[in-house]
Structures are given as C-alpha cells and as structure tokens.
Chains A and B, each alone.
Chain A
Amino acid sequence: MLLIKGGRVIDPAGRRDEIGSVWIENGKVKDFLPGEEAPGGYDGRVLDARGKWIVPGLVDMHVHLRDPGYEWKEDIRTGTLAAAAGGFTSVACMANTKPVNDHPEVTRYIREKADREGAAAVYPVASVTRGIEGKEMVDFAELAEAGAVAFSDDGKPVASSLMMRRALEYGKAFGLLLLSHAEDPELCGGGAAHEGWTAHRLGIPGIPSAAEEVAIARDILLAKQTGGRLHIQHISTKMGVDLLRMAKRAGLPVTGETAPHYFTLTDASLEGYNTNAKMNPPLRGEEDRMAILEGLLDGTIDAIATDHAPHDDYVKRCEFIAAANGIIGLETALPLSLALIAGGKVTPSRVVELLSVNPARILKLAGKGALGKGADADVTIIDPDAEWEYSEDRVRSKSRNSPFFGWNLRGRAVATLRGGRVTHSLLEGVAADA
C-alpha cells in the first residue's frame, strides 16, 4: 500500500487536474483522494509529493535499446534505467537490433529479459520486412502474438510503395499498426544534414525536406487506399506537419510523433561539424521548428518520442559524414518538453497527453497513460521548477551521444514508479526499490 500524497494530479484521460493523492495497492491505482493530506487512519507508506506534479507514467514510443546485438551501446537494463531516470515507465523499442526483431524468438527474448531486468515496461516493435531488407514481409500475426505492439523498419524506410501498401492492407486483418520511418532513400542520397544554408556553407551533402515529405505523402495515400493504421515517426519538416494535419482532417487513421530535438534545435547546431547534432531525419530550419511547435499545440502531432539512439563514442568521434546518426534522449525529453509550457501556449495537461496518454493510446497499451481506478500504478512525479545541469557523468545510458550536455534544464522527474515500485527517486529518504 502506498499513497503519493498531496501533489497536482494531472490525469488528462480522467479529465483531472487538481490537488490530491493517488492511492496505490497491489501495483494498481486504488483511488484518487482530493486535498493535500492523507486520509485519517491511513497507516501505509507515504510519498510526499506536495509542490510536485503527479502524472501517469511517461510512455516513449520510439527508443533503440540495442539489445540484442549491440549491448556495448545499450542494453535492456541500462536503457530502461535511463528511461526511469527520465520519468518513463514504458518504452517501445525498435527492431533494428542484431538479429533484427523479425522473428517471435527475438520478440520473446526482449520481453523476457525486460521482465527480469527492466526498470520500465518494454514493448517490442517488430520489423515490417525480414532483416529490414524491404523484400519480404515478416509473419505479422505470429509476431503480434509473441508481443510485438507495432511494426516498423525504423532506421530505414520501407522503400517500395508496393511493400508498404501490402503491409498496411494485410495488417488490417489483425488490427496492426505500422510505424513509418518516412524517407525517400533516393532523394536522401548520400546526404548527412538538412539541405539548407548551413549544409551548403559547411559543404555537407544535403538531405532535402522533400525526402521526408514525399514519403509521408505516399504513406498517407496508402493508408487511405488500404484503410490500414499508420503512424508517422519523427516528423521533422513543416510540410510533414501540414500533410499529417490534412490526413486527419480527411478522417484517415493516421497519427504522428516528433522528437524533442526537432522542436528544440535547428541545423545551426551543426556548426563546427558537431556530430552530436547529426541524426536522421536531420535537424531542420527555424521555419520547420516553428511548424512542429504549432503541430504539437494544435493536436496535429500526437506524441513526443525520443528516438533514443545510443552510440559508442568512436562512431561519433570522427569526421561528420562518417558519424553515426542519432542521439540519446530518454533523460532529457521531459525537461525539453516542459519548456514548451514556458512559451505560454502549451498546458501541462497537453504535455502529459503528448508524453503519456497519446502514445499509450496509439500503441493500445492497456492500463497505461492514465491514473483512473484500476490503472497500472505507473506514476511519474515531476518537479516542474527543478533547475539542473545535464552533465555527462550522471548519464544512466551506456552511451554519451547528446548535444544537450552543459544545458541548464528546468523540470525533471523526481520519482518514477512502475507498478507501484519505485524505479527512480531523487526524493529525500526515498530509495528506488531496486
């Protein structure tokens, strides 16, 4: 029995934003109790959350845990510890491991290891095509039975329009969700940065915005053609947002996500050939960044996901064009998202929707993204005013590839609970339950 006491409970799924306590029993939410104080006669464990926010555990629908196959970059234990430290209680991990998660055995390996060692719930995403080679479809139904919550060739696009069409169409039989890494590989060419002034000036081959937009448009049209469920991953361009908005207005079953770096940074960060500003899709221009903020505000973009992509130092400590793509993000996503509120237009409730409610809904994660009676006791306690510096020596991930070191951040998860157990705590006198 545990009472998280007297915080601002923000539970958009239950239309709640008020001071109160969350009462937990047997790993589930037992009840909400209004007011700052514990009820008379309560003699169980108490977690004092006065002055803090109590929100449903955060859900990151796009991470790379590198396990199996690249455990020196990250593994399920360290990846989920990083998640817990960042306030996440659930993560969906992409399939570009070694071997690729294209077989139920790999899916089961991930789930079982996560059950044993995970500090967060891990939901495997299987690939769309065998080996992420774009040639043959995976056994969708078997993978779904083994626990795959969605399908994506992330890291690479499904290059063939026909393959994408068939996958969307076939998946309808089982209500499957396809996550699209939207990119036209030919237009992308050998590009390494957003095709714009910065790349031209630095002499870096460009990736045009159209490489993403053409693919988003294609996939939306295929979703319309087939009626299959589609989710667009890591949207980085203005027209990408516009296309998603259009699809939603047309009533199509399409959702979309972006990552904190796309609404926080622009290609100006490439200055000095900074390999920690290299990712795919690339950091875009200011106009794109503003459009993504707009999309987050007006509901076009459903979710913020990190695309947490750990890499060992040496694949980033090299010439720009040769450097690996991606950055770690689990421990910075929350404060970077909370920064949206300071702009004055985004409400705390909307941030919780973007980081918890919506990703849980899109992936159909039962018991997640809500704090109503009977929901899983996955809870994140946030101090919205905590000021802290993100520094390399405190990173929980095995990797250190982030452009945000040295940044002064505001707001952080001061405690994370999964199924009623403390997976991360900065609260005085409260230790993680190991």
Chain B
Amino acid sequence: MDWKRRHVLGLADFRPEEMEFVVDTARSMEEVLTRDIKKVPALRGKTVVNLFFEASTRTRTSFEIAGKRLSADVVNFSSATSSVTKGETLLDTAKNIEAMKPNILILRHPASGAPHFLSRFVTCSIINAGDGANEHPSQGLLDLYTILKAKGKIEGLKIAIVGDILHSRVVRSDLHSLGRMGGKLWLCGPPTLVPREMERTGARVTYDIREAVKDADVVMMLRIQLERQKTAYFPSLREYSRMFGLNRSVFSLAKDDAVILHPGPVNRGIELSDELADSASSRILNQVESGVAIRMALLYLLAGGHDASH
C-alpha cells in the first residue's frame, strides 16, 4: 500500500490496513534486531530530534535506539518548562529546532493536542510520543503488535484495561488500535478514573476488576500515579491495590493462556503483583522489544523509506 502520511499525531484517523502495514514493516525491522550488526543505512543523512517536554526514559530511549538502528542522526532536546508563561513558547522552541533542519520531530508534551497544533506550523514530520491525556500512537501500535505476536489475531479477543483510564493516553490510542482491529475492550478502575462516556468508543466499562478479567485473553494494567491519591481520586494505594490491582487470584479468572501487558514503568505490588510481573504470562518486556521495531517502522515510513524502495 501507499504510505501518504507526513505525521503520526494519533491513531484516531488510522485505518486498519494502515496499522497492519506498520506492523508488517515492524516485522521486517525486527529481523534487523536479531542480526549481529544491528544497523541498516535506511535513514543515513536524516536527522531525528527527540523533543521531550516531559520526563521519559524508556520512550525516548526506544526512539533513540530505533533511529540509530536506521543510521539516522538522533539528537535529544529536553525541556523542563512547557508553559507559555515560562519563557519561550512551544511554537518558538519548535521553530528554532526546525531551523536546524531536522527531518523528523518526535514530540512528547504534557498538553493534549500539542503535536496537532505544531503540525500546522512546521514542515518536518512529527511523531507524537505522548500528548497529555490524548494519545500515544506508537504505544498503541506496539501493543497491537505484541498481542498479535502472542495471540495471532485481535478479532474477538477480550482485552481488559485496568487503572487510570481518565488520564491515560495509552488507553486512547489502544481504543483505536485494538478496538478498530476487532478486540472486545473492557475498561476498569474506580469510577473517579473511568468516565462512563468512554462507552461511546464501543468499549465496556466496569468498576469490578473480576468482571473485567473474567475470561479475558489479555489483561493490561496501567500505572497508577501517587498524586491521584492526593487529589482524592481514591482513598489510598493500599485500598486501590486490593480493589483494582491484579494478583494471582483475580488473574485466575482470565483464560488459561491469557497474557499480561503494562506500558510501564510498573509499580510492583500496587497495580500488579510482583509474582505476576515476572510470570510466564507477562509480555511486558516483549512490549519494550516490539516498541523499538514499531518505532523503526514509523521512522522508516515517515522518512520516505517506503517510497524509495519502489
């Protein structure tokens, strides 16, 4: 198929064929990662800038490795401030970086819609590496890829996502990727963190983790952040862990071959028990591995690698 996108801002407007195409491309990239010399010249002479306005080690590193495997020059730019009231605006920062002629800008920003906004003003490509509570498209695609590797399909699978749905950009991308590929999604957590309106995506909402996990093929646990307790979303981590955490007893309700995902970093013993995190059912490290391949695929496609091969 033809790849016509200049940006990857979110999966909201991705068709299933496009997502399959990215996964197929990732599959061929993954082959590179098994070689002794894990590097191909596809992006030689191209510059990729990681522009991160939020702390993130794994996503930034994943993109950095992905870029380097493709021989791109990868530069990291981190900024602690992201508000117009504190010095340089986001637009000015981005325009300054663009003046240095990068080919691809990878943006993480705490404001939902920040990459959509910048895409109206810059000429280089943008990959959204997480914008506020909106989307994290490469995560949505790597979750798709990881589940495909584990289950061979998405269609008809019961996929439970448990945790802070309200603030999760991972969920909003997964709803597009896994939902659009035919997965039956269940969203679970305390009512303060799971808006009922999310049922309009076609997902089911429940406040009972047992109902969500029962007969599930995939259980994805989300990281719960301590500051949510301080703003009264739930009473204590102890109660949260008891009522909405995944442990052996709850997980036994899932299908025998069910797998566990987590976008990381894991709070062991809080949303996920220590033993399950390391169990044979866990695919958490596979997600990290798939992540590099997916990000290589996105960089490759945006850099025009696909056109060049024709």
Contacts and interface: CB of A to CB of B under 8 A. Distances in A.
Contact of A273 (B113, B133, B195, B197): B113
Given A201-B172, A315-B84, A320 B112 contact: yes
A200 B113 contact: no
Interface residues of A, number: 18
A318 B84 contact: yes
B84 A203 contact: no
A315 B84 CA distance: 8
Contacts of B200: 197, 201
A314 interface: yes
Contacts of A203: 112-113, 131-135, 169, 172
Contacts of B89: 314, 318
B237 interface: no
A204 B110 CA distance: 11
B114 interface: yes
B113 A320 contact: yes
Contacts of B172: 201, 203
Given A197-B200, A315-B84, A202 B195 contact: no
Contacts of A318: 84, 89-91, 117
B112 A321 contact: yes
B132 A321 contact: yes
Contacts of B110: 321
A197 B134 contact: no
B109 A319 contact: yes
A200 B197 contact: yes
Interface residues of B, number: 27
A317 B134 contact: no
A68 interface: no
Nearest to A270: B113
A204 B169 CA distance: 11
Interface string A316-333: 011111100000000000
Nearest to B171: A203
Interface string B179-200: 0000000000000000101101
Contact of A272 (B114, B116, B131, B135): B116
Nearest to A318: B84
Contacts of A196: 197
Interface string B160-178: 0000001001001000000
A319 B166 CA distance: 20
A260 interface: no
Contact of A200 (B114, B117, B198): B198
Interface string B130-147: 011111000000000000
A205 interface: yes
Nearest to A323: B84
B61 interface: no
A322 to B, nearest CB: 5
A201 B134 CA distance: 7
Q: Which 9 A-B pairs have CB atoms at the shortest separation, nearest pair first?
A: A273-B113, A203-B134, A203-B133, A319-B111, A203-B112, A319-B114, A321-B111, A197-B197, A320-B113
